[in-house]
Each structure stands twice: as structure tokens, then as C-alpha cells.
Amino acid sequence: MTRQSASEIADEAAAWVARIDAADWSDADERQLAQWMAADPRRRGALLHAQACWVALDAPPATARTTVPRRGFVLAAGGALAASVAGGFLWLAGGTTYRTDIGEIRRVPLADGSTATINSDTQLEVTLASKRREVRIASGEAWFRVAKDPARPFVVEAGQVVVQAVGTAFSVRRRDAGADIIVTEGIVEVWAAQADGYRTSLVAGQSAFVGDNAAVRVRAGAPSDADRALAWRAGAIDLSGKTVAEAITDFNRYNRRKLVLVDPRLAGEQIDGIFRTDDPEGFGKALHDSFGVAVDSGDSDAIRIGAKNVPGEEGSGVPMSLRQQGRKTGH
């Protein structure tokens, strides 16, 4: 698709405004409009601009008709409002704290109808105030399915990183110097508390790392990537295309019994497969089967991969001959 110019987009937006203004606006129209907007982030801005030009011709708020929500006017006009996005947040005391253990994945329904699916080894605090719904992630990761409530934005803070939505689904994982965000439905806005007014929008299927220093790295992937990254919600790890080193880090999030890579040559090898988060042994076995490495499960604290006594085969990718030895084991 060739890049549209700003004025081409503006003209299309004007056409939408004219159409919205006609009497019979249907759900199908709304869907079409959503599609149009989703195809290029600039379109949303053009639509707002065109719509503003059009509603500017409406009588001023004092005599506005009742379909217009009062709040927007009263508060926008009133101005001075406590929680300004500019200066970080005032977190009200009295939230509810949730904590999960290593290996524990918990789904928590919140009082506003939203749900939080909390990953292993996570601590977060939920405060549902009248003006906004706030979650602060102290450590770990959670996926939120947010109940729609335009009057109360849903705001997740992970360190310096802030993510805001109204009704949508997304995950936030707190990292050392920032946070990973994956959007599975709708749109969210992300920003770093330091970078006032500097927001990035992410739509379904996109993920991003936002640094505490406000650097934003957006990755647009297939929707299936997001699902894969969030397989933990179903207690699974989906490794498609991950390296062995990454996979090991992943498993170790969920288990006290750690995988230890003794043979560093294996670290960069790619591996596929879906495993249970609580089955590092199964993963060790798959490595043994695909790469012919020795796996030592003798220790109750650790599973060592690539232990000294490497069997005959050297190198990677001889799965056929090895799969024969791989017996399914129950636990």
C-alpha cells in the first residue's frame, strides 16, 4: 500500500464524518469505520480533526442537547483536576495486593468486571477508584481483560512505565529497566512517567518494550505471536522459534527446580514445541531427543542439560534417530 498523504487521509475522514452525520449509522458502519481507522494510525487523528470541525458548528455546551455527556464539559471547563498525567500518579492507599508464588498462575476477577490473570512470581496492587482503575505491578507479569468503562480509565503502572486502556485486553510484564506490553485486543496507550505527553499507541497484535528512560521499541507481529507469548495463561510455554537459552529462562520463571545449561554450545539452538510450564523435565527430555544431549535429572533442585557424558552423536538436528529413544513418561 502506498503511503497516503495527510490531506488524502483528511478527505477520507471528512467523508466519514458526513456519513456519521447521516441518520442511519449502523453497527456495520461502526465496524467499517473501525477497520478504516485500524489500517493507519494517522486516520484516527484525521477523524478527530474533521469531527471537531463539524461539531464546532453545534450550539455551545450550555444549550447542548442531552445526548452529550455532561462530564466532558464540566470537567474540561473546570480545569484544575487532581490527577494530572503530567506529574506521575497519586496512588491512593487502600488497594488490594495480590501475590503469586513461583509456578502459580492465578486468575482474579476484579470488582469492576475486569479480570487479571497473574503470572508466576508476581506482586501487584489493584485500586478501583471512582475516577480511574489503577494497577501497580511491583514485580512479574499479568494479563488484563478490561471491562469497558470510558469514565474510568484502566491504568497499569510498572515502574516508570504506564499503560492505559478503557476496554481492551493486554499484558504487562515488569522488567529491570522497563516493561513489556502485549496487546491482544483493542488499543492501549503507553508512556513513561518521565516523558510527559509523549504517548505511543499500541493496537491488537502489537507488542512493545518501553524503557524507564521512555525509549519505546514497538514490534508488530502476527496475532499468533501474542498468543504464543501469552500461552502461560493456559499454563503452557510455546517455544516456536525460541532459542534454548530463552526457553530455559522461561521455564525457570515457573519452577523452583531450575534448568541449568551446562553445554553453552546449545544456547543459540532454536527449538519448537509446546510444554506445560510445570514440566521442565519434559523440556529436558525434548532437548535430549532433538539434540542428543545428556540430561541429568538426578538433582531435586536442578536439571542439568549437556552434562559431561555426552553420548555419541555430536552437533544438532538428528531428531529421527533420537526420537526413537524418547519414550513418553507420565509423572
Partner 1 sequence: MESGEAEQGGDAARRRRIALWVAREILPHEYRVRTWLRRAGTASDDADELIQEAYCRLAMLEDVDHIDSPYAYFFSIVRNLLLRRLKRQSIVPLETIAEIDSCHDDRPSPEQLAAGRLAYRKALDLIARLPERCGRIVQLRKIEGWSQRRIAEHLGTTEKAVEKQIWLGVRALREQWSRAEQAADDLMSAREQRGGRGR
Residue 30 interacts with partner 1 (CB under 8 A): yes or no: yes
Judged by beta carbon, residue 187 or residue 244, the one nearer partner 1 is 187
Residue 147 backbone dihedrals phi, psi, to 5 degrees: -70, 135
Closest CA to 262 of 204, 221, 310, 226: 310
| Residue from the set 139, 201, 252, 316 that interacts with partner 1 by CB under 8 A | 201
- In single-letter form, the type of residue at position 55 comes to V
Residue 60 interacts with partner 1 (CB under 8 A): yes or no: yes
CA angle 104, 107, 111 (to 5 degrees): 140
Q: Which residues contact 39 (CB under 8 A, 6 or more apart)?
A: none
Reported in sequence order, the residue ranges of 38-167 that DSSP labels E, i.e. its strands, are 96-99, 106-109, 115-118, 123-128, 133-139, 141-145, 154-158, 161-165
| Residue from the set 51, 252, 297, 316 that interacts with partner 1 by CB under 8 A | 51
Residue 39 interacts with partner 1 (CB under 8 A): yes or no: no
Residue 220 interacts with partner 1 (CB under 8 A): yes or no: no
Judged by beta carbon, residue 76 or residue 92, the one nearer partner 1 is 76
Name the minimum Å distance from CB 95 to partner 1. 20
| Residue from the set 1, 28, 35, 57 that interacts with partner 1 by CB under 8 A | 57
CA distance 181 to 196: 19
C-alpha cell at 85: 498525567
| Residue from the set 1, 28, 32, 68 that interacts with partner 1 by CB under 8 A | 68
Q: Would you tell me which residues interact with partner 1 (CB under 8 A)?
A: 5-7, 9-11, 14-15, 17-19, 21-25, 30, 34, 41-42, 44-61, 65, 67-69, 71-73, 75-76, 79-81, 83-85, 131, 148, 150-151, 153, 164-167, 187, 189, 196-199, 201
